[in-house]
Every structure is written in structure tokens, then in C-alpha cells.
């Protein structure tokens, strides 16, 4: 969880997703330069999770706190074009994310 928070959250959420959610670019539009720079960094970080998901979840057969912490971040990334395209290159990560999306807790918290 510390690695996700220290090395991934800022890139994925603050520097990428929030550019879409709360645009601060010209005329209230998303800042395309910030998005492009952040999107360019995502594959390197996503590759780390891809290597971690050699089992159904990061620590074995059942989800643990890091899986629960990472799932909504990946869920947000799956909503925007550049990151959605990047995620398609990481089947282990997306398989684990699909399993998280089937959990009742995920389904109950979606709009």
C-alpha cells in the first residue's frame, strides 16, 4: 500500500485523472500537456503491477488491502482514453481488476 501511495497515486490520480475531473487548462478544458506527460509515465508503473499479479491477487488467492487500495485507482484509469489504452497492455492486472469488479462491495459502491 505504501508503494502504491508513494509511487503511483500521485501520477495516476493527481496528475492524470484530476485533469479530467477538475480541468485547469485554458478555457476550463483539461490540460492536454499534463495529461500527455502523465499518460506517458503510466505504462512503466502499470508494468510493476502486471508483474505482481502472477496470482489472482497481489498476495495470493484472496484480495488483501493493497488490492482494495489499487482497485479504485485502476477503475478511474479505465474511464479515460489514454489510460484505458495503456491498461489493455496488462492482462494480469486487468484480470485481477475484473475479479475485484465482481465483488459485492465494488458493485454496491458504483454509481
- Which alpha helices (H) appear in the chain, and where do they start and end? 2-4, 18-21, 32-52, 65-77, 81-87, 91-101, 104-109
Domains and CATH numbers, the chain: 2-109 (1.20.1050.10)
pLDDT at position 110 over 90: no
* pLDDT band (50, 70, 90) for residue 46: very high
* pLDDT band (50, 70, 90) for residue 111: confident
Assess contact for 16 and 38: CB atoms under 8 A.
Answer: yes
CA distance 73 to 10: 11
pLDDT at position 102 over 80: yes
pTM of whole model > 0.75?
Answer: yes
Assess contact for 63 and 100: CB atoms under 8 A.
Answer: yes
Task: Tell me the per-residue pLDDT of 51-96, one tens digit each, with 9 for 90 and over.
Answer: 999 999 999 999 999 999 999 999 999 999 999 999 999 999 999 9
Average pLDDT estimate for 20-34: 94
The Cα-based distances of 3 to 8, 70, 75 in angstroms read 7, 11, 18
For residue 57, the 8-state DSSP code is: B
Amino acid at each position: 500500500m505504501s508503494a502504491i501511495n508513494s509511487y503511483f497515486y500521485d501520477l495516476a490520480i493527481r496528475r492524470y485523472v484530476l485533469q479530467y475531473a477538475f480541468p485547469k487548462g485554458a478555457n476550463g478544458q483539461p490540460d492536454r500537456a499534463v495529461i500527455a506527460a502523465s499518460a506517458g509515465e503510466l505504462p512503466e508503473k502499470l508494468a510493476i503491477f502486471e508483474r505482481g499479479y502472477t496470482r489472482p491477487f497481489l498476495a495470493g488467492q484472496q484480495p488483501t488491502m493493497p488490492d482494495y487500495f489499487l482497485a479504485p485507482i485502476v477503475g478511474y484509469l479505465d474511464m479515460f482514453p489514454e489510460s484505458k489504452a495503456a491498461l489493455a497492455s496488462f492482462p494480469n492486472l486487468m484480470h485481477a481488476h475484473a475479479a475485484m469488479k465482481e465483488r459485492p462491495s465494488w458493485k454496491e459502491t458504483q454509481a
